[in-house]
Amino acid sequence: MYRELPVDFKFTASENEVIVNSLLSLSAQPYQFYTAFKQQIRLIISELPAMERFIQFTAELRSRSSYDFPFVFVENAPIDPELPELGNDDPVQEKYLKKKTFVAEGFLQMYAELTAQHPIAYLNVNDGDVFQDIFPKESMKDTQSQKSLGPIYFHKDFPNHFVRPDFVNILSLRSHHDNEIYTTFVSNRDIIQHLSPSTLDRLRSPEFYTPYDDITINSGKVPLGRAPDHSILAGTHHFRFFENRTIGLNPEAQAAVQELLNVAHTHKKRILMKHGDFVSISNNLSLHGREVMKISNIEESRKRWSLKTVNVHSCAPHFKYFVNGTDYLVNG
């Protein structure tokens, strides 16, 4: 089974236990009272000796090139000792009712605080929750979204949105060894190094179109209209792309899309995410997805659960898009 990303950090059993116990004491509910929750996390970081080794690791990360190293892989990260069983009809609403501890949410917020990232939320995604579930929903099981049951093709999150995250952070809560469901990764660097100069030039032209993502469209809280045409490659190394959704608007542009995909699949890495696995993805500097290789237990595949946040380097460039009175909620 594939574990093709190098492990950057692994929590010891004792570190994990101390951090979990501390996060179990959180009193602020992160879905209704996110700002208060964030403040409690900052206090825990400042007072918890078990965080010292991880704090040093994250300090080193801040000086590492995200272009050369767009993925951070952590094992044995803190998650909730007991997780509720959720159905597939409306898992988010069930989570609100049944999930009474917030260890996983706390770790995701900790990581953001320590790496100078700022989690953001979107009105069109789970009613503006910062912490989003990668969990199957029956009405969206066949979509290209975090609520699907099947594969998700190579993409960056919110590729054509007016607020595009710099990071996507994913923490695995539940998986099953009978099923081979892989999270896939490829760096922009590996793609760019293997594309022809003519294709790179074509990818910089505004000859491509990507519709808004399925979750944003299905919410309908804030109508967005047609997404604009765009280039795939911005500057020297930023991609805006979603496999099987981004199209070239002429034959030459579509040929460039196909070459990009051929290279991406040749150089991809895969991880079979286990509970406590955490990956931070540089959203503009890589593509990620999901491959379903084998399902031996369909019921367990319907319970597979990860929690994620989407984060930015700085909120300042995006303030004009935020809901008035918030410093994290995008009006769209």
How far CA 125 is from CA of 162, 211, 212, in Å, comes to: 15, 16, 12
Q: pLDDT tens across 49-78, in order?
A: 889 999 999 999 989 999 999 999 999 999
- Residue 261 located in a structural domain: yes
In a domain, residue 81? The reply is yes
Distance CA 276, CA 10 (A): 10
Region 188-213: mean pLDDT is: 95
In this predicted structure, what is the pLDDT of residue 215?
Answer: 66
pLDDT of residue 160: 76
70 touches 27 (CB < 8 A): no
For residue 235, what pLDDT band results from cuts at 50, 70 and 90? confident
> Is 2 inside any structural domain?
no
Q: What is the mean pLDDT of residues 167-178?
A: 96
Mean pLDDT confidence for 183-191? 98
| Closest by CA position to 73, among listed 170, 200, 191, 215 | 170
How far are the Cα atoms of 1, 123, 136, 199, 271 from residue 70, in angstroms, in the given order? 22, 27, 27, 23, 15
Region 181-190: mean pLDDT is 97
Asked whether the predicted pLDDT for residue 315 surpasses 90, the reply is yes
**Residue 288 carries which DSSP code?**
E
Residue type (1 letter), 130: V
The model's pLDDT over 34-48, given as tens digits with 9 standing for 90+, comes to 999 999 999 999 998
Of the pLDDT bands very low, low, confident and very high (cuts 50, 70, 90), residue 213 is: confident
Which of 266-286 are b and which e, b meaning 16 or more Cβ less than 10 Å from the residue's Cβ?
Answer: eebbbbbbebbbbbbbbbbbb
Separation of alpha carbons 93 and 155, rounded Å = 27
In a domain, 3, yes or no: no
| Digit-coded pLDDT (tens) for 252-291 | 999 999 999 999 999 999 999 999 999 999 999 999 999 9
| pLDDT at res. 128 | 94
Residue 220 has pLDDT above 70, yes or no: no
Query: Per-residue pLDDT tens for 136-162?
Result: 999 999 998 899 999 999 999 988 788
pLDDT of residue 114: 97
Contact 283, 165 (CB under 8 A): yes
Smallest CA-to-CA distance from 284 within 244, 321, 237, 317 is with: 237
pLDDT at position 193: 97
Residue 216 has pLDDT above 80, yes or no: no
Model pTM score: 0.94
Q: What is the pLDDT of residue 219?
A: 56
Give domain status of residue 54, yes or no.
yes
Question: pLDDT value at position 225?
Answer: 78
Q: What is the pLDDT of residues 64-114, one digit of tens each?
A: 999 999 999 999 999 999 999 999 999 999 999 999 999 999 999 999 999
Is residue 4 assigned to a domain?
no
* Domain-embedded: residue 1: no
Question: Dihedrals φ, ψ of 214, to 5°?
Answer: -60, -40
What's the mean pLDDT in 232-259? Answer: 95
Range of the domain at 207: 9-330
**pLDDT at site 126:** 86
Higher confidence at residue 217 or residue 183? 183
Helix, strand or coil, per DSSP, at residue 121: strand
Residue 17 lies in a domain: yes
Domain count across the chain: 1
The whole-number pLDDT of residue 75 equals 98
**Which secondary structure element, helix H or strand E, spans residue 26, and what is its range?**
none
CATH number for 56? 3.60.130.10
